[in-house]
């Protein structure tokens, strides 16, 4: 939470003062800071979805240094030149000069290139670490707001549908009481550089008229298909019953003892999937809408495409 807020503030201040921040490379660098970041595990694998990795920060004397205020920003430069970040949940100081980062990648390398950027005690380090992100888009869910839920992605772009990303934090499809059988992480795009967690009470910003307006998230209904799944074509896929997950207040939504249905086209043959749907109350506007795959309103029941999305298990 702390890092979401810091990231949001730093970029929104630049945004509001009229600077066009399309890439971290445009920010001032400080070659004199003396800090050098590196991956603790040189063979670290990054994939679409949740990726946990350790960063080591060494000072000018090559000593691994704990106690720093470290911000880590994975940034993708798209082939077309547009840049964006991805949700980062936390950076934990391990006390030995290493820091554990929990990030959720929205996109694989291929349409562009990813690099990790670092701020130490507020200073943007000159060193970036190029990384390759593997996996598939179907390894996370993506749903969109309708015209009532627009954002302005960057200073140059027109307003467009807000994106919501649903990531697996952990999943145990066998169900059973006790431990959470599913833990999802929900985040959204405020602009291309800002991806906060979504939960009841979170404040987001709309842009329906080029005028950013704060709104407060009310009840978030994020559910997993536990009923009969019918795989159809086009908008005919459907689920008969759902388990609403518990909003933990930090982007995590959990459920226990659920029997999570395999929503793949051919269960047992194609990669197993699970379906989610998402309805969010805008407590400021007093509206309540199902988010959809295309940003166009569906039937309003949440039971059919496009008001649901399947995610690889």
With H, G, I as helix, E, B as strand and everything else as coil, classify residue 72. Answer: strand
DSSP label of 21: -
Which x/- pattern, by CB under 5 A, does the window 224-243 give for Cu ion? --------------------
Nearest to 169 by CA among 224, 232, 94, 99: 224
Residue 163 contacts Cu ion per CB under 5 A: no
Minimum CB distance to Cu ion smaller for 107 or for 186: 107
CA of 212: how far to CAs of 113, 196, 268, in Å?
30, 16, 47
Minimum CB distance to Cu ion smaller for 156 or for 174: 156
Residue 131 contacts Cu ion per CB under 5 A: no
Task: Tell me the β-bridge partners of 281.
Answer: 288
Minimum CB distance to Cu ion smaller for 103 or for 107: 107
| Total binding residues toward Cu ion, as defined by CB under 5 A | 3
Minimum CB distance to Cu ion smaller for 107 or for 239: 107
Residue 55 contacts Cu ion per CB under 5 A: no
Residue 107 contacts Cu ion per CB under 5 A: yes
Minimum CB distance to Cu ion smaller for 3 or for 105: 105
Stretch in the footprint of Cu ion (CB under 5 A) among 74-82, 96-104, 115-123, 224-232: 74-82
Q: How far apart are CA 123 and CA 87, in angstroms?
A: 20
Residue 193 contacts Cu ion per CB under 5 A: no
Q: DSSP strand E in 21-110: where?
A: 36-39, 46-47, 49-58, 70-78, 83-84, 88-93, 98-105
CA dihedral 199, 201, 202, 205 (to 10 degrees): 120
Residue 76 contacts Cu ion per CB under 5 A: yes
Q: Is the peptide bond before 105 cis (omega within 30 degrees of 0)?
A: no
Residue 311 contacts Cu ion per CB under 5 A: no
Q: How far apart are CA 242 and CA 165, in angstroms?
A: 19
Stretch in the footprint of Cu ion (CB under 5 A) among 33-41, 107-115, 157-165, 211-219: 107-115
Minimum CB distance to Cu ion smaller for 86 or for 312: 86
Residues of the shown chain interacting with Cu ion in the complex, contacts defined by CB under 5 A: 76, 78, 107
């Amino acid at each position: 939470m702390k890092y979401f807020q810091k990231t949001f503030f730093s970029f929104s201040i630049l945004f509001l003062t009229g600077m066009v921040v399309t890439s971290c490379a445009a920010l001032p660098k400080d070659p004199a800071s003396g800090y050098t970041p590196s991956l603790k595990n040189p063979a670290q694998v990054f994939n679409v979805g949740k990726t946990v990795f350790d960063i080591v920060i060494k000072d000018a004397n090559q000593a691994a240094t704990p106690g720093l205020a470290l911000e880590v920003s994975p940034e993708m430069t798209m082939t077309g030149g547009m840049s964006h970040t991805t949700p980062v949940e936390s950076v934990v100081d391990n006390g030995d000069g290493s820091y554990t980062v929990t990030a959720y990648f929205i996109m694989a390398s291929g349409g562009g290139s990813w690099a990790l950027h670092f701020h130490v005690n507020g200073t943007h380090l000159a060193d970036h670490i190029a990384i390759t992100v593997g996996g598939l888009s179907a390894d996370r869910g993506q749903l969109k707001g309708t015209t009532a839920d627009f954002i302005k992605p960057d200073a140059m772009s027109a307003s467009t549908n807000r994106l919501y990303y649903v990531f697996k934090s952990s999943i145990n499809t066998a169900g059973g009481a006790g431990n959470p059988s599913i833990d999802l992480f929900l985040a959204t795009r405020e602009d291309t550089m800002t991806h906060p967690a979504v939960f009841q009470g979170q404040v987001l910003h709309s842009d329906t008229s080029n005028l950013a307006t704060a709104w407060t998230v009310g009840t978030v209904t994020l559910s997993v298909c536990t009923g009969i799944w019918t795989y159809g074509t086009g908008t005919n896929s459907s689920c008969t019953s759902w388990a609403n997950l518990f909003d933990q207040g930090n982007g995590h939504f959990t459920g226990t003892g659920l029997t999570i249905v395999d929503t793949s086209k051919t269960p047992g043959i194609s990669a197993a999937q699970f379906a989610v749907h998402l309805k969010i109350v805008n407590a400021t506007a007093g509206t309540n809408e199902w988010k959809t795959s295309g940003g166009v309103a569906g039937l309003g029941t949440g039971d059919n495409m496009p008001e649901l999305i399947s995610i690889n298990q």
